[in-house]
């Protein structure tokens, strides 16, 4: 698929102060409602990396699947060197470039994107799911495995589908959701062009058997497979 025009500073700011400014700017562009059109295809994205690899290489994967049958339609991958090391609150600047390249490898854009990480439940309202969603201008949901900011308003029941709000500074920024019976909850938030309730609906609709919804789960496997394949082929001279 083709990518929208994206200012270089939005991808690689010179320093964290500038990065924070960019995040506030992009956070203002997040559309917290939708999707407007039908959702027939969904994409799951994730990145993998070598342990304490000083090179900063990130291996991204995007898996496109049929929203109704869950059949995998396409898999796109890409490797990039992260501009910055991991800093809580700035994950997007590290992983988005590689993810965008992976999307470029797809033949068509998805109707919805599920991202491994937070959406608006972020200090400046721009977690990686919102960051990627705004740059691609596609509906996106943040599905995180742990909290970045905020506190659960109580504890969700033990059954799949039980939920409680994640509150921060007096505002509900995400939903603490039990995606499977008796497993640690997920933190689902708006990424872009979707409301919180619909984000939770889709997360449940695309999951069931495992803690993570199918799109994100498959992307995690794909990114890992891609990294391992790259690792055992780099010695032969292949690059990117």
* Residue 114 host element (H or E): strand 112-116
What is the rounded CA–CA span in Å between residue 162 and residue 239? 46
Residue 52 is a binding residue for DNA (CB under 7 A): yes
* Near DNA in 11-50, by CB under 7 A: 46-50
Instruction: State yes or no: 53 annotated in a binding site.
Output: no
Stretch that binds DNA, among 26-34, 97-105, 111-119, 194-202 (CB under 7 A): 111-119
Handedness of CA 21, 24, 28, 34 (dihedral sign): positive
Residues sharing a CB contact under 8 Å with residue 205, sequence separation 6 or more, in sequence order: none
What is the rounded CA–CA span in Å between residue 26 and residue 51? 31
* Near DNA in 178-197, by CB under 7 A: 182
- x-or-dash pattern for DNA, window 122-161, by CB under 7 A? x----xxx------------x-xxxxx-------------
Task: Select 60 or 106, whichever has its Cβ closest to DNA.
Answer: 60
Instruction: Tell which one of 10, 30, 102, 116 touches DNA (CB under 7 A).
Output: 116
The tokens of 111 are what?
A: 């109707």
Residue 126 is given by DSSP the state -
Residues that bind DNA (CB under 7 A): 46-52, 86, 88-92, 116-118, 122, 127-129, 142, 144-148, 182, 220, 223-224, 227
């Amino acid at each position: 698929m083709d990518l929208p025009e994206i200012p270089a500073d939005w991808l690689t700011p010179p320093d964290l102060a500038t990065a924070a400014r960019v995040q506030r700017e992009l956070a203002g562009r997040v559309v917290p409602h939708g999707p407007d059109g039908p959702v027939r295809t969904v994409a799951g994205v994730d990145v993998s990396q070598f342990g304490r690899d000083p090179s900063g290489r990130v291996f991204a994967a995007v898996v496109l699947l049929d929203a109704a049958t869950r059949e995998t339609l396409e898999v796109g991958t890409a490797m990039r060197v992260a501009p910055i090391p991991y800093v809580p609150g700035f994950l997007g600047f590290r992983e988005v470039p590689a993810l965008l390249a992976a999307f470029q490898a797809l033949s068509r854009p998805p109707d919805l994107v599920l991202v491994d990480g937070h959406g608006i439940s972020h200090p400046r309202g721009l977690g990686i799911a919102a960051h990627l969603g705004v740059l691609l201008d596609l509906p996106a949901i943040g599905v995180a495995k742990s909290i970045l900011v905020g506190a659960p308003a109580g504890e969700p029941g033990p059954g799949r589908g039980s939920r409680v709000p994640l509150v921060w500074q007096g505002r509900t920024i995400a939903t603490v959701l039990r995606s499977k019976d008796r497993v640690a909850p997920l933190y689902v938030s708006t990424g872009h062009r979707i409301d919180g309730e619909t984000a939770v609906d889709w997360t449940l609709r695309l999951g069931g058997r495992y803690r993570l919804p199918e799109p994100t789960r498959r992307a995690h496997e794909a990114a890992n497979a891609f990294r391992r394949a790259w690792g055992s082929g780099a010695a032969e001279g292949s690059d990117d």
